[in-house]
């Protein structure tokens, strides 16, 4: 039987979204495969994916709980139909310990933005005893040991351009002796859910997409650096020659996801942040204006913003030029790279807008459905953009 595919690509039909705000996406006519794919992201399933990751506590690199999480993620990816999982291996030897007290605020934020308004101090909790939940304290107790590390990825192979791909990433390791639910259980869940949707048997893409769950982000982007080092040179090579197989398709862009649940606004004069998700919450898409590929990265960022306007049900996106301190960094001078976050990394998170960042309170139960919904909107943004960029269609 011949499979009939509805071809959409970039020509997306205007969608009727109710003026009253959030609601299901309605495509006009039967032909918007991208909208159909985005509608396959399910709020409860996505929350369950975050919850699933928190069973491994903070997933600190170099521990049994981290290795168990890598195994679990791999099994999940396979069960979603992304069966060609592979592992990148590297050795990690930690540099001498540095002082990790409260960061001092300065006028120029990391990434080059200008810090404004009220600020609250940020820090990394290094005290396992600070976790009040006894069960979690025990789960997070094993310290990290140096040595071999592994990180898992799988690939949706493009039907017409298997030799080119977008990389979609998030880091699965965490710190702070909580559950790393937001940083970066959210991003890991997003990558897994987008992999689930695009790996369905009836989905075809022209170009490839690689889903990567970085390890060792929190030690200084060591997992993504190892990937760039080991695999950058393999790009676009057909191996074996004539096989039609490309172990490392040429990189077209890299999209990183790092924290997206908590956008409660600026701290007040007392340094406290509101308990509630602010109605103005948004998805912050950042590129690095100082990077070699800033022009392409900027275009990619605006493309994601447009996808957000088309496909995200509740929260808008905004674009900023100061991407920093995340796994897209090692890629930024090789390929257009962007990151998606709850706030700008430098001027906002760096100034205390997320009091749970690297703290024992970064646990699943801290976040409300309004928080989780911002995360889902980012997933809708990424899936909408990627499906369009890779020419995703549905087989009938």
Region binding Zn ion by CB under 5 A among candidate stretches 65-73, 144-152, 257-265, 327-335: 257-265
Region binding Zn ion by CB under 5 A among candidate stretches 102-110, 181-189, 332-340, 343-351: 181-189
Task: For Zn ion, give the closer residue by CB, 163 or 184.
Answer: 184
Region binding Zn ion by CB under 5 A among candidate stretches 256-264, 297-305, 349-357, 381-389: 256-264
Does residue 183 touch Zn ion according to CB under 5 A? yes
Region binding Zn ion by CB under 5 A among candidate stretches 129-137, 179-187, 190-198, 263-271: 179-187
Task: For Zn ion, give the closer residue by CB, 298 or 339.
Answer: 339
Provide the minimum distance between the beta carbon of 176 and Zn ion in the complex, in angstroms, as a whole number. 10
Q: How many residues bind Zn ion (CB under 5 A)?
A: 3
Task: For Zn ion, give the closer residue by CB, 140 or 248.
Answer: 140
Alpha helices by DSSP H, listed for the chain, are: 33-39, 43-54, 64-79, 134-139, 187-198, 222-231, 294-311, 369-389
Provide the minimum distance between the beta carbon of 63 and Zn ion in the complex, in angstroms, as a whole number. 17
* 270 half-sphere exposure, CB direction, 13 A CA radius: 3
Region binding Zn ion by CB under 5 A among candidate stretches 106-114, 144-152, 183-191, 293-301: 183-191
Reduced to 3 states (helix: H, G, I; strand: E, B; else coil), residue 275 is coil
Q: Please, are residues 262 and 277 in contact by the beta-carbon 8 Å criterion?
A: yes
Does residue 342 touch Zn ion according to CB under 5 A? no
Q: Which of 317, 384, 349, 321 is nearest to 168 (CA)?
A: 384
Q: Which of 188, 190, 360, 350 is nearest to 266 (CA)?
A: 350
Q: Of 58, 179, 258, 263, which one interacts with Zn ion (CB under 5 A)? A: 258
Q: Please, are residues 55 and 67 in contact by the beta-carbon 8 Å criterion?
A: no
Does residue 327 touch Zn ion according to CB under 5 A? no
Does residue 173 touch Zn ion according to CB under 5 A? no
Task: For Zn ion, give the closer residue by CB, 124 or 159.
Answer: 124
CA pair distance 151, 230, nearest whole angstrom = 13
Task: For Zn ion, give the closer residue by CB, 207 or 257.
Answer: 257
Provide the minimum distance between the beta carbon of 358 and Zn ion in the complex, in angstroms, as a whole number. 9
Task: For Zn ion, give the closer residue by CB, 184 or 248.
Answer: 184
Region binding Zn ion by CB under 5 A among candidate stretches 44-52, 184-192, 340-348, 372-380: 184-192
Beta strand residue intervals within the chain, DSSP E = 5-6, 86-92, 147-156, 161-171, 203-204, 207-214, 250-257, 283-286, 317-320, 337-341, 393-395
Q: Please, are residues 282 and 318 in contact by the beta-carbon 8 Å criterion?
A: yes
Q: Residue 224: what are its φ and ψ, rounded to 5°?
A: -75, -35
Provide the minimum distance between the beta carbon of 159 and Zn ion in the complex, in angstroms, as a whole number. 33
88-107: burial string, b at 16+ Cβ within 10 Å, e else:
bebebeeeeeeeeeeeeeee
Does residue 184 touch Zn ion according to CB under 5 A? yes
Q: Interface residues with Zn ion (CB under 5 A)?
A: 183-184, 258
């Amino acid at each position: 039987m011949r499979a009939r595919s509805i071809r959409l690509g970039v020509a997306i039909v205007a969608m009727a979204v109710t003026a009253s705000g959030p609601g299901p996406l309605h495509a006009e006519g039967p032909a918007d495969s991208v909208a159909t794919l985005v509608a396959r992201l399910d709020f409860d399933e996505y929350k369950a994916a975050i919850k699933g990751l928190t069973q491994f506590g903070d997933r600190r690199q170099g521990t049994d709980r981290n290795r168990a999480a890598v195994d679990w993620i791999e099994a999940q990816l396979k069960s979603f139909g992304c069966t060609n999982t592979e592992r990148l291996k590297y050795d990690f030897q930690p540099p001498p310990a540095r002082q990790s007290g409260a960061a001092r605020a300065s006028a120029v934020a990391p990434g080059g933005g200008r810090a404004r308004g009220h600020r609250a101090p940020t820090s990394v909790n290094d005290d396992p005893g600070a976790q009040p939940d006894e069960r979690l304290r025990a789960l997070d107790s094993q310290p990290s040991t140096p040595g071999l590390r592994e990180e898992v990825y799988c690939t949706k192979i493009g039907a017409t351009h298997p030799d080119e791909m977008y990389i979609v990433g998030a880091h699965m390791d965490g710190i702070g002796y909580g559950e790393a639910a937001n940083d970066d259980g959210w991003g890991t869940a997003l990558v897994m859910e987008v992999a689930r949707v695009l790996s369905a048997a009836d989905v075809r893409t022209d170009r490839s997409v690689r889903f990567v769950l970085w390890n060792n982000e929190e030690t200084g982007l060591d997992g993504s650096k190892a990937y760039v080092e080991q695999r950058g040179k393999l790009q676009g090579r057909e191996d074996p020659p004539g096989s039609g197989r490309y172990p490392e398709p040429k990189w077209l862009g890299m999209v990183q996801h790092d924290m997206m649940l908590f956008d409660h606004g600026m701290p007040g004069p007392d340094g406290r942040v509101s308990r509630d998700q602010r109605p103005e919450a948004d998805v912050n898409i950042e590129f690095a204006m100082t990077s070699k590929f800033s022009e392409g990265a900027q275009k990619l960022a605006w493309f994601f913003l447009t996808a957000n306007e088309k496909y995200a049900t509740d929260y808008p996106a905004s674009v900023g030029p100061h991407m920093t301190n995340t796994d897209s960094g090692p890629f930024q001078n090789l390929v257009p790279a962007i990151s998606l976050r709850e706030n700008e990394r430098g001027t906002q998170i760096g100034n205390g807008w997320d009091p749970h960042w690297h703290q024992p309170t970064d646990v699943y139960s801290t976040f409300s459905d309004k928080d989780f919904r911002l995360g889902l909107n980012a997933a809708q943004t990424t899936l909408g953009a990627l499906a369009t960029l890779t020419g995703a269609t549905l087989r009938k």
